[in-house]
C-alpha cells in the first residue's frame, strides 16, 4: 500500500540558507500535518492543511511557511535557517472526513551547519 512520501530524506544547509521539504500524502487523504522533532524531543506540531486550506497552526516560526497544492502534495519552506532548525521534520496524512488514523512519512533530517 502507498505510504506518505517525504523528500529529501536528508538535507544539509548552511545558516541563513533556504530549504524546501516536500510531502506526498497517501492518495485520497484530505489532511496533511507537519511536525518538527529536535534531538531527544517529542514531535512538535507545526501546521496542518485540510482540503488544501490551512487548518490549524502550531509553533511554526514566521520564517517557515507551508502550502498544499492542487494535487494534495505539501511543501514546507524554511528561510533564514538557524542552527536550531536542525531536526527531523515529519509529514503525516489522514482522511479526516472519516476520522481515520494519521500515517507518518519517514521524515526529512535537516542539518543546518
Partner 1 sequence: SQQGEEDPQALSIQEGENATMNCSYKTSINNLQWYRQNSGRGLVHLILIRSNEREKHSGRLRVTLDTSKKSSSLLITASRAADTASYFCTGGSEKLVFGKGTKLTVNP
With a CB cutoff of 8 Å and minimum separation 6, the contacts of 6 are 21, 22, 23, 24, 89, 90, 91, 105, 106, 107, 108
Select 79 or 102, whichever has its Cβ closest to partner 1: 102
- Minimum Å distance from CB 16 to partner 1? 26
Select 50 or 67, whichever has its Cβ closest to partner 1: 50
- Minimum Å distance from CB 67 to partner 1? 18
Q: Which pairing describes strands 5-7 and 19-24: parallel, antiparallel, or unpaired?
A: antiparallel
Name the residues that contact partner 1, by CB under 8 A: 31, 33, 35, 42-43, 45, 48, 50, 55-56, 58, 88, 90, 92, 94, 96, 99-107, 109
- Minimum Å distance from CB 103 to partner 1? 6
Select 5 or 75, whichever has its Cβ closest to partner 1: 5
- Give residue for cell 543546518: 112
Name the grid cell of 51. Answer: 482540503
Q: CB count, 10 Å around CB of 7? A: 14
Amino acid at each position: 500500500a502507498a505510504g506518505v512520501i517525504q523528500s529529501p530524506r536528508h538535507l544539509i544547509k548552511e545558516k541563513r540558507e533556504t530549504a524546501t521539504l516536500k510531502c506526498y500524502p497517501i492518495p485520497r487523504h484530505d489532511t496533511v500535518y507537519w511536525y518538527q522533532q529536535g534531538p531527544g524531543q517529542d514531535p512538535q506540531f507545526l501546521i496542518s492543511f485540510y482540503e488544501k486550506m490551512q487548518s490549524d497552526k502550531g509553533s511554526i516560526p514566521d520564517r517557515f511557511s507551508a502550502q498544499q497544492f492542487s494535487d494534495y502534495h505539501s511543501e514546507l519552506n524554511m528561510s533564514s535557517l538557524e542552527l536550531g532548525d536542525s531536526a527531523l521534520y515529519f509529514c503525516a496524512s489522514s482522511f479526516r472526513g472519516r476520522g481515520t488514523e494519521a500515517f507518518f512519512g519517514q521524515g526529512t533530517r535537516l542539518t543546518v551547519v
